[in-house]
């Protein structure tokens, strides 16, 4: 501890902060700027944006609350945090929605100007929580954010509504002061973002400074907080979201393979940002096509693949359902294609802005006929970059569709990403067939991959389409024995990818009483939970799947070495079902579907329950 300008400085190892307000209050922008600055000063971090599902929910209601949660620390951070230490609530509805999750004795910073009769009624408060003692046990700091923002911006020439919209920068400045963050990076960003509108630059900059200096000069806060830099591997870092990492991964795959990149897609939450990001990379040979529907999106990508491009299509669960027939077309034509599914809550429209591991069974089996595809899953926002490259590599090498699963949490969440040097990324070898002599469109190499003969190459004309192909010649065939053979060949081709993917590594004892097995975006929650259980003295091991079809070769061997296998999932047990089916072993399920990442303490409690107190 120390003193700064009369304020006590308290050192913390980690903090979880929630910014919350109406969807028009700029909470996502506020959280993103706080995250970027936190990454700039060297903390590790993980974020969780939380959007309302309604496009125009009534202002002031609980339905319209937008939140941004950020967990940052001086050591490695795996999750956006179970429960916030600090809640910044811009109105009563934001307080009501988020108070149940706030840690006891946590800090609440309230925009007291919004706690009037109208807003309290919209949030369904029968009495003012600032007056009825319902916030006892919390450290409450009522701040007249709106009033002070109006006063600070009176000379900027902004309209009243524009002034009101700047109050998020006041809150941001106050939080920068409270946690000893510099304001200069955000001031620079404001100048670049709004440089053509001097009034907006004036408003946002003055509001940011007003919030910061309010914290400096008020007697309301007796202390401020310091979180030391995290010791991360050396390198150049930037904050990156999963969707942006996915987009950059495909740009890198395009360059590593020497192929032009084509994205055929239809906008759908929460995958649309991949389309937005890739549209900015035209000078790198990237072509983006916003189709009229999901079927046109994937069909255009199949056409681009036939024409020799690295072809991808992006979607979420309902869109993946619409793409199923065309996915089967990619299977039977044996063309390379990557399908990105950013999973969200279902079924049907479900929870469009919330996360879920809802589509594993759909990815594995959701097509007519025997239509095997490879299935991969990214684990963190930055891992999306590498798994986009890996999905591209497997699709191109094995001439087959690959589904890459991410989810709403890792797609919208962000973390520091160490930017790799180009020399760290392996080239993707692409074999396009050019020899005319002896050409057969469905002849196969050692991987069972057929030749990629690009249209326009003289002498390599061949049939393409959805009817069953004759082995070797590619002619249309209704022969029963040939169909049986082709089904087995297509399935075996996917299985042979086992020779090309890394074996699983177990973290902890290589055998014992309990193994925690996860897949995809639960990586952070499971890792933090297992680490916590170990600190409490429990002997527990873990391993995590990125490759689901096919599984790594040694998965079965690993599972048999443990008495119990716990599988936490944000679904009703989809991986558990596949594991039971393939390996005929009992597994213990842990399933929650709340539209949020799994809470680490709940997984830790489940580990303790299974081990029965054995440490």
Q: Domains in the chain, please, with CATH?
A: 2-227 (3.40.920.10), 238-424 (3.40.50.970), 512-611 (3.40.50.920)
What is the pLDDT at residue 4?
Answer: 62
Q: What is the pLDDT of residues 426-485, one digit of tens each?
A: 999 999 999 999 999 999 999 999 999 999 999 999 989 999 999 999 999 999 999 999
- Residue among 145, 15, 148 nearest 90 (CA): 145
Q: What is the pLDDT of residues 368-425, one digit of tens each?
A: 999 999 999 999 999 999 999 999 999 999 999 999 999 999 999 999 999 999 999 9
Distance between CA atoms of residues 339 and 316, nearest Å: 10
**CB atoms closer than 10 angstroms to residue 368:** 9
Q: CA separation (Å) from 583 to 377, 576, 578?
A: 20, 10, 8
Per the prediction, the chain carries an average pLDDT of 95
Distance between CA atoms of residues 359 and 346, nearest Å: 9
Q: What is the pLDDT of residues 536-585, one digit of tens each?
A: 999 999 999 999 999 999 999 999 999 999 999 999 999 999 999 999 99
| Least confident residue range of 221-225, 289-293, 518-522, 591-595 | 221-225
Q: What is the pLDDT of residues 4-40, one digit of tens each?
A: 666 789 999 999 999 999 988 999 999 999 999 999 9
Read off the DSSP letter of residue 179.
T
Q: Residue 3: which pLDDT band, with cuts at 50, 70 and 90?
A: low
E-strand spans in 75-131? 86-89, 107-111
3-class DSSP state of 562: strand
- Residue among 453, 446, 422, 236 nearest 333 (CA): 453
What is the pLDDT at residue 28?
Answer: 95
Instruction: Spell out a b/e string for 520-558, using b for 16 or more CB atoms within 10 Å of the CB, else e.
Output: bbbbbbbbbbbbbbbeeebebbbbbbbbbbbbbeebeeb
Q: CA separation (Å) from 178 to 7, 101, 173, 436, 497?
A: 10, 21, 9, 71, 51
Contacts of 100 by beta carbon, 8 Å cutoff, 6+ apart: none
Average pLDDT over residues 299-318: 98
Backbone angles phi, psi at 537, to 5 degrees: 100, 5
- Residue among 191, 352, 201, 186 nearest 268 (CA): 352
Instruction: Spell out a b/e string for 224-243, using b for 16 or more CB atoms within 10 Å of the CB, else e.
Output: bbebeebeeeeeebebbbbb
Backbone angles phi, psi at 232, to 5 degrees: -100, 155
Backbone angles phi, psi at 416, to 5 degrees: -65, 135
Reported pTM: 0.95
Is it the case that residue 54 has pLDDT exceeding 80? no
Strand partners, 4: 7
- Residue among 324, 314, 289 nearest 384 (CA): 314
What is the pLDDT at residue 195?
Answer: 86
Is it the case that residue 614 has pLDDT exceeding 80? no
> Which two three-digit tokens encode residue 556?
């079965």
What is the pLDDT at residue 6?
Answer: 63
Is it the case that residue 184 has pLDDT exceeding 70? yes
What is the pLDDT at residue 402?
Answer: 98
- Residue among 386, 385, 389 nearest 397 (CA): 389
Torsion region of 342: left, alpha or beta (phi above 0 gives left; psi -120 to 50 gives alpha): beta
Distance between CA atoms of residues 56 and 437, nearest Å: 62
């Amino acid at each position: 501890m120390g003193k700064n300008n009369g304020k006590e400085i308290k050192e913390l190892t980690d903090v979880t902060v929630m910014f919350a307000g109406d969807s028009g209050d700029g909470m996502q922008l506020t959280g993103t700027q706080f995250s970027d600055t936190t990454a700039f000063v060297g903390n590790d971090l993980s974020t969780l944006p939380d959007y309302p599902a309604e496009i125009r929910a009534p202002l002031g209601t609980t339905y319209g609350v937008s939140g941004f949660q950020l967990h940052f620390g001086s050591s490695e951070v795996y999750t956006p945090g179970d429960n916030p230490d600090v809640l910044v609530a811009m109105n009563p509805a934001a307080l009501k929605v988020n108070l149940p999750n706030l840690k006891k004795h946590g800090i609440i910073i309230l925009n007291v100007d919004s706690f009037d009769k109208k807003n309290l009624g919209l949030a369904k408060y029968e009495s003012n929580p600032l007056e009825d003692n319902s916030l006892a046990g919390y450290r409450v700091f009522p701040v007249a954010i709106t009033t002070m923002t109006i006063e600070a911006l009176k000379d900027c020439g902004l309209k009243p509504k524009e002034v009101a919209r700047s109050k998020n920068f006041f809150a941001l400045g106050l939080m920068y002061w409270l946690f000893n963050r510099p304001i200069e990076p955000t001031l620079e960003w404001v100048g670049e973002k709004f440089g053509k509108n001097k009034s907006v630059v004036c408003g946002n900059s003055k509001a940011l400074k007003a919030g910061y200096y309010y914290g400096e000069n008020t007697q309301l806060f007796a202390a401020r907080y310091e979180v030391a830099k995290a010791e991360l591997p050396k390198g150049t870092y930037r904050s990156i979201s999963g969707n942006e990492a996915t987009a950059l991964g495909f740009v890198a795959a395009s360059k590593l393979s020497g192929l032009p990149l084509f994205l055929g897609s239809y906008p759908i939450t929460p995958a649309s940002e991949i389309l937005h990001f890739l549209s900015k990379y035209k000078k790198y040979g990237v072509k983006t096509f916003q189709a009229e529907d999901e079927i046109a999106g994937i069909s255009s990508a199949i056409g681009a693949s036939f024409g020799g491009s690295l072809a991808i299509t992006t979607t979420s669960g309902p869109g993946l359902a619409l793409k199923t027939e065309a996915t089967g077309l990619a299977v039977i034509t044996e063309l390379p294609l990557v399908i990105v599914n950013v999973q969200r809550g279902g079924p049907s429209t479900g929870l469009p802005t919330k996360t879920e591991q809802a589509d594993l069974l759909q990815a594995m089996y959701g097509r007519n006929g025997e239509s095997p595809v490879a299935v991969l899953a990214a684990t963190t926002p930055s891992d999306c970059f590498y798994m986009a490259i890996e999905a591209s590599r497997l699709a191109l090498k094995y001439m087959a569709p690959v589904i890459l699963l991410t989810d709403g949490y890792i797609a919208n969440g962000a973390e520091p990403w160490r930017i790799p040097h180009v020399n760290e990324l392996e080239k993707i070898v692409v074999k396009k067939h050019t020899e005319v002599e002896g050409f057969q469109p469905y002849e196969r190499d050692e991987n069972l991959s057929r030749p990629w003969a690009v249209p326009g190459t003289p002498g390599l004309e061949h049939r393409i389409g959805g009817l069953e192909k004759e082995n070797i010649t590619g002619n249309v065939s209704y022969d029963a024995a040939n169909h049986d053979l082709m089904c087995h060949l297509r399935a075996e081709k996917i299985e042979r990818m086992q020779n090309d993917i890394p074996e699983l590594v177990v973290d902890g004892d290589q055998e014992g009483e309990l193994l925690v097995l996860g897949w995809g975006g639960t990586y952070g929650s499971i890792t933090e939970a297992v680490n916590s259980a170990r600190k409490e003295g429990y002997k527990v091991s873990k391993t995590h799947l990125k490759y689901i079809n096919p599984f790594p070769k040694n998965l079965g061997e690993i599972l048999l070495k443990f008495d119990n296998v716990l599988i936490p999932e944000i679904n009703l047990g989809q991986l558990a079902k596949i594991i039971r089916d393939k390996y005929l072993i009992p597994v213990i399920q842990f399933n929650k579907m709340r539209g949020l990442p799994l809470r680490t303490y709940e997984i830790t409690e489940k580990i303790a329950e299974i081990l029965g107190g054995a440490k």
